[in-house]
């Protein structure tokens, strides 16, 4: 079995094109771009994390050329029972 997927309808863009705060789908998971956490060890500067996965709060580092699908989300907040 084989399948061709046309991503032209999905509004695919690169990670670098997204602004901080933007939600996007990558590999079937929802992520949010955050301001990068930078480490400067004196010899080099590296980005440690620049996205968070809302499902569990995990931080990740994405490369700028990664293809992502920007999405709009609605969040519902429900008070927990005591």
Where would I find the beta strands (DSSP E) of the chain? 13-14, 23-26, 29-40, 45-53, 58-60, 67-71
Q: Which of 75, 77, 61 is nearest to 26 (CA)?
A: 61
How much is the pLDDT for 46? 65
In the chain, the domains with their CATH numbers are 17-71 (2.30.30)
What secondary structure letter does DSSP report for 5?
A: -
Instruction: Dump pLDDT digits (tens) for 1-60.
Output: 455 555 555 678 899 999 999 999 999 899 999 988 877 777 766 667 899 999 899 998
- What does pTM read for this prediction? 0.72
């Amino acid at each position: 079995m084989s399948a061709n997927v046309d991503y032209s309808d999905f509004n695919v863009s690169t990670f670098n094109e997204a602004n901080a705060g933007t939600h996007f789908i990558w590999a079937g998971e929802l992520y949010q771009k955050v301001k990068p956490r930078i480490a400067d060890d004196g010899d080099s500067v590296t980005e440690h994390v620049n996205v968070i996965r809302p499902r569990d709060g995990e931080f990740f580092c994405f490369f700028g050329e990664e293809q992502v699908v920007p999405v709009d989300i609605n969040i519902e907040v429900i008070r927990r029972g005591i």
